[in-house]
């Protein structure tokens, strides 16, 4: 009984912390910015303001405890986000969305009602607490996806929090090809190990043949070489679909690069700075694949990423690249540490047993693996489409995490995915092959 109360208090605390993370993002915005649509494939920002609350209500009080709708119209309006495949972009006018004040009021009342409803509830009814984990991690994922949406707004629409300066450059990292001997990589998660999303189950051991992988991800400096070699102009480096995307959208450089008289700049969250050459380059899967063709190498598979990150010369596998200790700031640029990347060599204490750096944090890493279920996949009965809607061969697995990824989602089994022509997320890459 006492433990149940302690568990619930701890869960309430984690929910409150997650709420503070989404509140923090909205607090950056000038009020009118809420009606902007910074990314054509996503909703206007006002949607997300209501979404993280409506989702929680639909999932917990309404979905598990028999509560009525909180506000039937808003509960439905804010229920689900979008990820259109192959066109079909939203184009409704901003005036179609409710006023900011009404959404803020819905949110404040909903949070109070939700906290009341769950305070006396039986954890059994909440699928042993899984629904809380889903609510908390769903919100934390939105704290990250909101960050890259807000990243696209002009600097004049946001207020810079204290301590958000961009990090300066350091001496160039020496990028080596690290040889990884053949061995086992354990993907996924066993059901005995506690909460994971549907796509993390079951555990799957894969024998990975020997391969070589870069010690660090590709930097802005490395990308300049590709660009200067005509990387965006040479048809032969690109697959047919990727070339159509590149030419159709007139893409000639990474999304966050801007040319400005004197040279290249990086468009940071709050300001523009001369291109930081030692930072990882953030690019789409299509651009990363073209770079790999140019270099005569390849993107790692999901299993190769695991092997390089969690394998050891002794054969045991570890929980994190650096060992089994939980994530801490010296290990990498994650858990909301910053708003922008840092040099790829900034966290030697985060290197894997094989000496591979910057694997967790500082940008997710693209793999060549299409997002698909592991054997034993079962959708959550209360959220059937979370992963299953995206097993379409049109999304690729990303691993690792960014500066805006919460520590709880740095677990080894966590899998994330995006379309290859979606350049907005904080994603870097590294190459494998001789
Ligand atoms: C798992 C990050 C790809 O943002 O589309 C949020 C997470 N799903 N609400 C996304 C998600 C539903 C999802 N990703
Ligand atoms: Fe969502």
Cβ-contact 308, 356 below 8 angstroms: yes
Q: How far is CA 179 from CA 194, 346, 364, 434, in A?
A: 33, 22, 22, 9
Ligand nearest to the CA of 146: 1
Rg of the chain over all Cα atoms, to the nearest angstrom: 22
Task: Using the mean position of ligand 1's atoms as its centre, give its distance from the Cα of residue 387 in Å.
Answer: 9
Question: Distance between alpha carbon 380 and the CA centroid of its chain, in Å?
Answer: 21
pLDDT score at 3 = 63
pLDDT score at 171 = 81
Residue 1 has pLDDT above 60, yes or no: no
Residue 324 has pLDDT above 50, yes or no: yes
Q: Is the CB of 165 under 6 A from ligand 1?
A: no
Which one of 81, 398, 426 would you pick to mutate in the ligand 1 pocket, going by the greatest count of ligand atoms within 8 A of its CB?
A: 81
| Helix 285-294 with 240-248: angle, nearest 10 deg | 120
Q: What is the pLDDT of residues 29-49, one digit of tens each?
A: 999 999 999 999 999 999 999
Q: Is the CB of 83 under 6 A from ligand 1?
A: yes
Burial profile 263-287: b = 16 or more Cβ within 10 angstroms, e = fewer = ebbbbbbbeebebbbbbbbbbbbbb
Cα 223 to Cα 244: distance, rounded to the nearest angstrom: 21
Residue 28 tokens read as: 């950056």
Residue 19 has pLDDT above 60, yes or no: yes
Cα 75 to Cα 51: distance, rounded to the nearest angstrom: 8
Q: How many CA atoms lie within 13 A of 392 on its CB side?
A: 15
Residue 142 has pLDDT above 80, yes or no: yes
pLDDT score at 25 = 97
Which one of 84, 141, 400 would you pick to mutate in the ligand 1 pocket, going by the greatest count of ligand atoms within 8 A of its CB?
A: 141
Q: What is the pLDDT of residues 236-261, one digit of tens each?
A: 999 999 999 999 999 999 999 999 88
- Mean pLDDT of all residues in 158-179: 84
Percent of the chain with pLDDT over 90: 89
Q: Is the CB of 271 under 6 A from ligand 1?
A: no
The residue contributing the CA closest to ligand 1 atom 4 is: 145
Task: Give me the torsion for CA of 58, 85, 400, 361, rounded to 10°.
Answer: -80
Q: Is the CB of 385 under 6 A from ligand 1?
A: no
Q: What is the pLDDT of residues 144-155, one digit of tens each?
A: 999 999 999 999
Strand order of the β-sheet with 427-428 is 416-418, 396-399, 364-370, 427-428
Cα 314 to Cα 353: distance, rounded to the nearest angstrom: 9
- Mean pLDDT of all residues in 193-197: 95
Q: Could you tell me whether strands 416-418 and 183-187 are parallel, antiparallel, or unpaired per DSSP bridges?
A: unpaired
Mean pLDDT, the chain, whole residue set: 95
- Mean pLDDT of all residues in 61-66: 94
Cβ-contact 197, 387 below 8 angstroms: yes
Q: Is the CB of 55 under 6 A from ligand 1?
A: no
Q: What is the pLDDT of residues 67-109, one digit of tens each?
A: 999 999 999 999 999 888 877 899 999 999 999 999 999 999 9
Question: Distance between alpha carbon 415 and the CA centroid of its chain, in Å?
Answer: 9
| Helix 2-26 with 100-119: angle, nearest 10 deg | 170
Residue 373 tokens read as: 């279920």
The residue contributing the CA closest to ligand 1 atom 7 is: 141
CA 227, 340, 195, 390 dihedral sign is: negative
Residue 190 tokens read as: 């066993």
Q: What is the pLDDT of residues 365-420, one digit of tens each?
A: 999 999 999 999 999 999 999 999 999 999 999 999 999 999 999 999 999 999 99
Question: Which residue is listed with tokens 């204490």?
Answer: 349
Cα 342 to Cα 6: distance, rounded to the nearest angstrom: 38
End-to-end CA distance of the chain: give it in Å, rounded.
Answer: 58
pTM: 0.97
Residue 313: Cβ within 10 Å count: 10
- Mean pLDDT of all residues in 328-356: 97
The residue contributing the CA closest to ligand 1 atom 3 is: 417
């Amino acid at each position: 009984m006492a433990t149940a109360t302690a568990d619930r208090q701890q869960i309430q605390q984690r929910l409150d912390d997650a709420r503070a993370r989404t509140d923090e993002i909205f607090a950056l915005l000038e009020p009118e910015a809420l009606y902007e649509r910074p990314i054509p494939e996503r909703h206007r920002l006002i949607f997300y303001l209501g979404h993280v609350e409506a989702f929680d209500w639909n999932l917990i009080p309404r979905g598990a405890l028999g509560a009525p709708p909180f506000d039937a119209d808003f509960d439905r309006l804010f229920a689900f986000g979008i990820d259109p495949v192959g066109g079909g972009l939203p184009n409704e006018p901003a005036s179609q969305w409710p006023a900011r004040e009404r959404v803020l009021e819905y949110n404040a009342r909903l949070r109070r009602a939700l906290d009341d409803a769950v305070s006396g509830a039986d954890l059994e009814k909440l699928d042993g607490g899984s629904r809380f984990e889903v609510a908390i991690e769903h919100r934390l994922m939105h704290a990250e996806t909101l960050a890259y949406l807000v990243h696209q707004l002009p600097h004049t629409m946001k207020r810079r929090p204290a301590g958000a300066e961009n990090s300066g450059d350091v001496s160039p990292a020496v990028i080596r090809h690290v040889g990884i001997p053949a061995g086992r990589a354990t993907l996924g998660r066993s059901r005995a190990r506690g909460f994971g999303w549907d796509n993390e189950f079951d555990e799957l051991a894969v024998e990975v043949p020997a391969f070589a992988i870069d010690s660090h991800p590709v930097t802005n400096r490395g990308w300049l070489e590709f660009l200067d070699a005509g990387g965006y102009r040479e048809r032969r480096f690109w697959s047919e679909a990727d070339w159509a995307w590149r030419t159709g959208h007139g893409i000639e450089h990474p999304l966050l690069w801007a040319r400005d008289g004197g040279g290249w700049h990086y468009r940071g969250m709050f300001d523009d700075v001369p291109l930081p050459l030692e930072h990882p380059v953030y690019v789409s899967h299509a651009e990363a694949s073209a770079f790999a063709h140019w270099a005569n190498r390849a993107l790692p598979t999901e299993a190769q990423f695991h092997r390089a990150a969690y394998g050891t010369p002794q054969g045991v596998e570890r929980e994190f690249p650096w060992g089994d200790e939980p994530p801490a700031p010296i290990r990498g640029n994650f858990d909301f540490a910053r708003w922008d990347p840092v040099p790829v060599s900034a966290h030697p204490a985060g290197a894997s047993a094989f000496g591979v750096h910057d694997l967790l944090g500082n940008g997710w890493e693209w793999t060549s693996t299409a997002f698909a279920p592991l054997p034993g996949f079962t959708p959550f009965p209360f959220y059937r489409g979370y992963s299953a809607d995206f097993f379409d061969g049109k999304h690729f697995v990303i691993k690792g995490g960014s500066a805006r990824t919460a520590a709880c989602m740095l677990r080894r089994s966590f899998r994330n995915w995006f379309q290859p022509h979606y350049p907005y997320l904080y994603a870097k890459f590294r190459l494998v092959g001789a």
